[in-house]
Amino acid sequence: MRKYLARRAVYAVVTLLGVSLSIFVILRVLPGDPLVAILGVEGHARMTKEDRVRIMADLGLSAPLPVQYARWLRDIGAGQLGKSFFRGDTVAELIAHRGPITAEIAVLALIVSWIVGLPVGILSAFKPNSMPDGVARTLSVLFIAIPGFWLGMLIVLALLFWFGWKSPIIIVHVWQDPWQNLQIVMGPGIVLGLAQGAYIARMSRSCLLEVISEDFVRTARAKGLREGLVVMRHALPNALLPVITISGVLLGFVLGGSVAVETAFGVPGLGRSLVTAVIERDIIVVQNLVLLYAVIFVVVNVLVDLSYAWLDPRIRYS
């Protein structure tokens, strides 16, 4: 097990180095001048070449690219993650302040996806081609197809025009005011959760359909066990592995989707920070946030792999 973990850790580090290098290069290759955001249109227009050289040096952008990359890795190693080169706020502060909101949204989305997706999948699998199955399949396709940001905007507008209500406009953490906090994360969490729930429903349906035709399920039924017991004790645990795998993958989609959905709901989470940083060409913030998302994705995938051994006694890592 330790060997397996060490091997996965090495792979993870290599993957993250690859991600860091890619995002570093992409951000430097993309056109766009951060000085427009810093100086504004008028200031940018009046800037001399000398001013540009000086400002770029101040921002640490005039050093050779390998030096800039090495400095970034050094900052990561020191846990500093660098500073937004606009206002001087550190990226670590940004993550500490906004990260919890995005994390809550992701967890809520995951919970919603399981609460909605799994029962629907079970119902569909045990009543295949029935009307409830048809409705469930139609709805799942619908939620997969509908873009989260669009649904988010509809919900925001409906709440606004029908009830004159909008969620709080600044971050309120769960430890500061749980009710206000819930109002912030609820909308994006549900929208993202419904989309992921549709995938869970489809995956659990197909896995269960496969499992319930197995001999051990037939045997359970032949023993005279109640259908509920057959499903919960025998069929479901054996159908869950692929669902757990897809949940890990979906968490990545949730993080990616949060960028658009947070913007649609006006939630000041990390996703929205990423959007603003891209617009401002605040490359220090962008590269650190993208790397953070990559770290989360890698860690979740390792955890998912490890959970297999716990869920299925046949699987052992050595």
Partner 1 sequence: MSDHASDPKPTVDRRTFLKRVGAAGAGAAIAARLPFPGPAAAQDATVRPDPAAKRGGTLRYAVHNAPAHFDVHQSGTVANIGPQSPMYDTLLRRSPKDGQTIIPDLAQRWEISPDNKKYTFHLRKGVKFHDGADFTADDVKATYDRIKNPPKGVVIPRTPLFATVSDIVVVNPHTIEFRMSEPRPKAYMLGAFASGWNIIVRKKTLDDNQGNLRQVMNYPGTGPFRHVSRKDKEIWIMERNPDYWNKGLPLVDKLEIYHFLPFTPELGAAMLSGRVDYARLLDPVTWRKAKEMPGVTAANFNQSVIQAFWTNTQKNKALADPKVRRAIHLAMDRHTLVEVVKDTAPMQVGGFVYPFHEMSTPRAELEKKLGYQRDIKPAVQEARRLMKEAGYAGGLKNLDFVVRDIPTFKLWAVAIQAMLKEHLNIESNLRVVQTSVWFDEAQAGSFDLAISAIVSTLMDPSDIFSAWYGKDGPQNYSRWTNPVFHDLASQIEREVDDAKRRTMVRKAEDILENDPPLIPVAYEQIYDAWYNKVKGQNPSTFFGIYDVVRWDNVWLG
Residue ranges that bind partner 1, judged by CB under 8 A: 31-48, 50-51, 54-55, 58, 84, 86-89, 94, 97, 153, 156-157, 160, 164-166, 168-171, 266, 268, 272-273, 276, 279-281
What is the closest distance, in whole angstroms, from the C-beta atom of residue 99 to partner 1 in the complex?
14
What is the closest distance, in whole angstroms, from the C-beta atom of residue 157 to partner 1 in the complex?
7
| CB closer to partner 1, 131 vs 170 | 170
What is the closest distance, in whole angstroms, from the C-beta atom of residue 101 to partner 1 in the complex?
11
| CB closer to partner 1, 55 vs 107 | 55
What is the closest distance, in whole angstroms, from the C-beta atom of residue 259 to partner 1 in the complex?
15
Task: Judge contact between 23 and 291, C-beta under 8 A.
Answer: yes
Contacts 24+ apart (CB under 8 A), 135-140: 136/201, 136/205, 137/202, 137/205, 139/198, 140/197, 140/198, 140/199, 140/201, 140/202
What's the distance, CA 59 to chain centroid?
Answer: 30
Residue 113: in which H helix or E strand, if any?
A: helix 91-126
| CB closer to partner 1, 155 vs 241 | 155
Task: Judge contact between 26 and 69, C-beta under 8 A.
Answer: no
What is the closest distance, in whole angstroms, from the C-beta atom of residue 192 to partner 1 in the complex?
18
User: How many whole angstroms separate alpha carbon 201 and alpha carbon 210?
Assistant: 14
Task: List CB contacts of 301: < 8 A, sequence separation 6 or more.
Answer: 248, 249
| CB closer to partner 1, 251 vs 264 | 264
| CB closer to partner 1, 117 vs 268 | 268
